[in-house]
Amino acid sequence: MKTMNELKRTELAAFLRSRRERISPEDAGLPAGQRRRTSGLRREEVAQLAGVGVTWYTWLEQGRPIHASPQVLDAVARTLRLDTVERQHLFRLAEAPDDKPDAALPPPLAPEIQPILDQLSPLPAYVLTERFDVLAFNAGYGALFPRVRDLPPAERNTIMTCFASYACCSAYENSDGMRATLVAQLRSAYGRHVGDPAWTGLIRKMEAASPEFARIWATQDVAQPVSVTKVFRHPLYPRLPMTSTSMALQGCVGTRLVVYTPVDVQTRRAIEHVVADGMDAHFPCWETHQIRARELAMRLPS
């Protein structure tokens, strides 16, 4: 029986061959030349265009156990005209870190997702990945987590935001317990992505940036997302109990839609008021503690 590494190398070899065979010499700017036995580029042509050794590329396409640097894989990806999803697949199979800014992001959401989120407002709702990257959100969510509105898309991560917040300006009433729960859910999801450079990079950098994260991660606790009552805080309302409900999204693997539903009429009215008139409200310590959030963000790649 093949090991996991052997299976990945076999899959990598087949993937490279399929991408090479779909590109004609004319598409790559090469003369068509004599009639070819197979369609697409030859191995030596890919190597030449990518600026790598013919033997090295041949071994890579044969699934041999060789090391592929991110720089070389980037050249191969450009030569084979891989799109974002294909590039991610290449780096994942080669077990190499991809430092391209959008490398860890999943495919774009379907265009109808944002209007659905907007229709749910004032109920806070958002879409996130198993890595807790926030892909889309509505006004209700932005009111509870105001910092997410100012962050570039690649830095919108619930784990990072949670550990960058002090208890006094956290959106959660019990921020310590919530951080432990989030890390346990992250570790459970990590079991499906062991060896994925994007996941490993996030975890290692979070460990280095946050001793608290490192301590919780080391407990090996695991948990699954479930429908549960969470108590949120807002400068205008100190206690907002809501039920969290998660639903998987088809068409974008590993993503889910999360909706927070108020547990009573008073909370619903409070959320309506917050969205209508409290979007710019902040805790008194907001500006001072934003420094910590920015410092943590600077230690992590986008």
Tens digits of residue pLDDT in 183-209 = 999 988 888 777 777 788 888 888 988
58, pLDDT greater than 50: yes
Record: fold of 113-299? Beta-Lactamase (3.30.450)
Domain ranges of the chain: 4-94, 113-299
- pLDDT for 301 equals 45
Question: If we measure between CA atoms, which residue out of 141, 145, 224 comes closest to residue 186?
Answer: 224
Instruction: Calculate the alpha carbon distances from 74 to 100, 103, 108, 162 in Å.
Output: 9, 11, 21, 33
- In the numeric block, the tokens 């039920």 are attached to 243
**Which residue(s) pair with 230 in the sheet?**
242
Question: If we measure between CA atoms, which residue out of 134, 122, 120, 108 comes closest to residue 256?
Answer: 134
pTM flag (> 0.75)? no
How do strand 134-137 and strand 228-234 relate by DSSP bridges? unpaired
**Which residue(s) pair with 261 in the sheet?**
243
Residues 209 and 201: their CA atoms lie apart, in Å, by 12
242, pLDDT greater than 90: yes
Q: Which CATH architecture has domain 4-94?
A: Orthogonal Bundle (1.10)
Q: Count CA within 13 A, CB hemisphere, residue 266.
A: 5
Burial of 150 (0-12, 13-18, 19+ CB in 10 A): exposed
- pLDDT for 121 equals 95
- Mean predicted lDDT score pLDDT of the chain: 85
Question: If we measure between CA atoms, which residue out of 100, 136, 98, 102 comes closest to residue 119?
Answer: 136
Average pLDDT over residues 248-254: 81
- pLDDT for 3 equals 78
CB 233 within 8 A of CB 240: yes
- In the numeric block, the tokens 């805790």 are attached to 283
Residues 166 and 1: their CA atoms lie apart, in Å, by 50
